[in-house]
Chains A and B, each alone.
Chain A
Amino acid sequence: MPRARNPATVFLICLFCVCALLGQFPAEAKEEQLVITGSSTMAPLVSEMGKRFESLHTGTRIDVQAGGSSRGIADVLNGLADIGMASRALKAQENDLYGVVIAHDGVTVILHSNNPIQALTDDQIKGIYIGVITNWKTVGGLDAPITVVNKAEGRSTLELFLHYFTLSNRDIKAHVVIGDNEQGIKTVAGNPHAIGYVSIGTAQYDATHGVPIRLLPLRNIPATLKTVREGTFPLSRPLTLVTKSSPAGLMKIFIDFARSSQVHDLILKQYFVPLQG
């Protein structure tokens, strides 16, 4: 027969457990900690680097949070983070910050793999995004309306795309607005008449894992890891670690680690492009 417990006892036991758990945290505060925030494109990669770094340097903790490149830079400026992640080069007005490139990423235009179109010119892509071209027939495809997939405001992928095609977000006539790369790929994979743009790393990973999408070349240059590494792919960007002052101490050790060959396999695994081939 189960013992009867009154609710007050059960509640007090729960309360005690919660307090005991909370009490655990101050004990860990002695570790040396780096807070890294910023680009959601870089966060998974830097998080993996952080795990490897922690296992090599005992007593360190690398805390990685995603929130967008602008957030990463703002956090570094406000002192909320030790290192910021920006999936773009630093802007001219950010000259007072220190940026170190750890890898490259490319943004690629994607179509459903059932779409017969093999390539589009820059003008055609621009035409589709500003709503001048609304049917695939116009660019030599099937007679079907085009579904334009755009990114939400503030994302660096959007910024890079707009900058390359010299567009303002206001010009774009989108049918779907998406948040992260995966959502964009799922949207295009589920609609044979959609066009979208995402990070090459994510797109190539999904395309080689059976997701029905096709990566389009730009200016006849195929969207591959190789062309991005060589710097020939037009729509590419550097992945940058940003610090407020010249990196020193643990920060410097981590940044050197992130640039070293020790993490090449991690960069390749995420379909980003390491500094040296």
Chain B
Amino acid sequence: MISSSSNISSRSKGDYLLSGTVRLLALMAGGLLLLVVSFLIHESWPALQHIGFWRFFSDPDWYPTEDSYQLTPMIWGTIWATAGSVLLASPLGILSALFCHFYAPPLLSRWYRRMVELLAGIPSVVFGFWGLVVLVPLIGRWHPPGPSLLAGILILTLMIIPTIMLVAHASIAHVPVAYIHSASALGLSRWSMIWHIILPTTKVGLLTGILLGLARALGETMAVLMVCGNVVRTPSHLFDPIRTLTANIALEMAYALGDHRAALFVSGLLLMGLVVLFVSMAEGLRHRNTYVATK
């Protein structure tokens, strides 16, 4: 809203109303996060008390109804699936953004970006369903049984490409036009301009996009639940089935009671820890100066 007052520091009544409401909402959003974390701690407290924190790493395996609660294979499953998908999706997403900006004709570029935005809007359960009926049988024909770490990585890659691409696109759009004009004036080729000017300038933005994609992959539940096989075992190769921490919660929560239920909240707590770690990394990078001097 543009105030009719000529001086932007003089506030109208509407401004006070708006700022009050917005502050209240911000407080609510912040409070909600605290509430979720304290709820997680509260719900997992019985497990931390009865079972103890270290048994989640030292127990022989995960059979919660038989009092055995090892979470390590699921932590590995989560990390491998996330790492694999980020490794695949980052180059694809960044290259798509570069293609959009510097190589594609404007009309194609606009439609291409619309389609990627649409891809970002597809619900995860649809990706999961497609994975279950198309991708998993395909992998199964190649290397049975099919539901595997590989299937999870591929589905997650599809899901986080839009995040990485759109953030990369936005940060490339923020490169000062003067840089690009200077590059043209110097007669640099398109590729050397991208390699020596665009990529170094947008490094921080690209990293932020990758970390956001990573956080999304880390938290994804339905799709990985449907394609990963969900066997609790540390994967030794790409065709091994895995269970992620999120899938563990979704699979067993509806049927869990007592310590089993609390143990599932512990896996939620671990997951929350991983997400917080990555999001704060993304925030730390975002707050650094975007336009660092380049050589």
CB distance from A147 to the nearest CB of B (A): 4
Within 8 Å of chain B (Cβ to Cβ): is A190?
A: yes
A11 touches B21 (CB 8 A): yes
Within 8 Å of chain B (Cβ to Cβ): is A170?
A: yes
B255 touches A67 (CB 8 A): yes
Q: Mark B198-234, 1 if CB is under 8 A from A, else 0.
A: 0000000000000000000000000001100111100
A177 contact from B251, B254, B255, Cβ within 8 A: B251
Within 8 Å of chain B (Cβ to Cβ): is A176?
A: yes
Within 8 Å of chain B (Cβ to Cβ): is A168?
A: yes
Residues of A within 8 A of B250 (CB): 179
Q: How far is the CA of A194 from the CA of B144 in the complex (A)?
A: 10
Q: Mark B130-165, 1 if CB is under 8 A from A, else 0.
A: 001100110010001111000000000000000000
Q: How far is the CA of A245 from the CA of B264 in the complex (A)?
A: 32
Residue of B nearest to A148 (CB): B145
Residue of A nearest to B145 (CB): A147
Q: How far is the CA of A187 from the CA of B228 in the complex (A)?
A: 11
Residues of B within 8 A of A144 (CB): 144
Beta-carbon contacts under 8 Å, A129-146 to B: 144-145
- Among the listed stretches A20-28, A44-52, A150-158, which one makes contact with chain B, having 4 or more residues with CB under 8 Å of it? A150-158
Beta-carbon contacts under 8 Å, A175-191 to B: 175-179, 183, 186-187, 190-191
Beta-carbon contacts under 8 Å, A1-40 to B: 6-8, 11-12, 40
Known: A8-B14, A190-B132, A190-B137. A154 touches B145 (CB 8 A): no
A154 touches B147 (CB 8 A): no
Q: How many residues of B contact A (CB 8 A)?
A: 35
A67 touches B254 (CB 8 A): yes
B146 contact from A70, A147, A152, A177, Cβ within 8 A: A147
Within 8 Å of chain A (Cβ to Cβ): is B169?
A: no
B145 contact from A70, A153, A179, A194, Cβ within 8 A: A194
Residues of B within 8 A of A154 (CB): 65, 252, 254-257, 260
CB distance from B282 to the nearest CB of A (A): 27
A169 touches B21 (CB 8 A): no
CB distance from B143 to the nearest CB of A (A): 10
Residue of A nearest to B61 (CB): A170
A190 contact from B14, B18, B140, B231, Cβ within 8 A: B140
A8 touches B21 (CB 8 A): yes
Residues of B within 8 A of A74 (CB): 257
CB distance from B204 to the nearest CB of A (A): 30
CB distance from A55 to the nearest CB of B (A): 29
Residues of B within 8 A of A160 (CB): none
Main secondary structure of the interface of A (DSSP, over half): mixed
CB distance from B59 to the nearest CB of A (A): 13
A191 touches B252 (CB 8 A): no
Q: How far is the CA of A66 from the CA of B140 in the complex (A)?
A: 32
Residue of B nearest to A40 (CB): B254
A176 touches B18 (CB 8 A): no
A191 touches B137 (CB 8 A): yes
B252 contact from A8, A153, A174, Cβ within 8 A: A153
Residue of B nearest to A169 (CB): B63
A179 touches B251 (CB 8 A): yes
Within 8 Å of chain B (Cβ to Cβ): is A68?
A: yes
Residue of B nearest to A179 (CB): B251
Residues of B within 8 A of A71 (CB): 254-255, 257
B251 touches A170 (CB 8 A): no
Q: How far is the CA of A107 from the CA of B256 in the complex (A)?
A: 22
Q: How far is the CA of A191 from the CA of B140 in the complex (A)?
A: 7
Beta-carbon contacts under 8 Å, B24-77 to A: 61, 63-66
CB distance from A173 to the nearest CB of B (A): 9
Within 8 Å of chain B (Cβ to Cβ): is A126?
A: no
Residues of B within 8 A of A175 (CB): 145, 147, 229, 231, 241
Residues of A within 8 A of B64 (CB): 153
Residue of B nearest to A6 (CB): B1
Residue of A nearest to B64 (CB): A153
Within 8 Å of chain B (Cβ to Cβ): is A237?
A: no
A193 touches B145 (CB 8 A): yes
Q: How far is the CA of A36 from the CA of B107 in the complex (A)?
A: 56
Most chain A CB inside 10 Å of its own CB: which residue of B136, B146, B225, B254: B254
B254 touches A68 (CB 8 A): yes
CB distance from B250 to the nearest CB of A (A): 7
Binding site for A on B (CB under 8 A): 1, 14, 17-18, 21, 61, 63-66, 132-133, 136-137, 140, 144-147, 225-226, 229-232, 241, 243, 250-252, 254-257, 260
Can you name 20 extra interface pairs (CB under 8 A) apart from A7-B1, A177-B229? A8-B1, A8-B14, A8-B21, A66-B254, A68-B254, A70-B257, A71-B255, A74-B257, A153-B63, A153-B252, A153-B255, A153-B260, A155-B255, A169-B66, A177-B241, A177-B243, A187-B132, A190-B137, A190-B140, A191-B136
Binding site for B on A (CB under 8 A): 6-8, 11-12, 40, 66-68, 70-71, 74, 144-145, 147, 152-155, 168-170, 174-179, 183, 186-187, 190-191, 193-194
Please name 10 pairs of A and B residues whose Cβ atoms are closer than 8 Å in the assembled complex, sorted by A: A8-B17, A12-B21, A145-B145, A152-B252, A153-B64, A176-B241, A177-B229, A178-B230, A186-B132, A191-B146
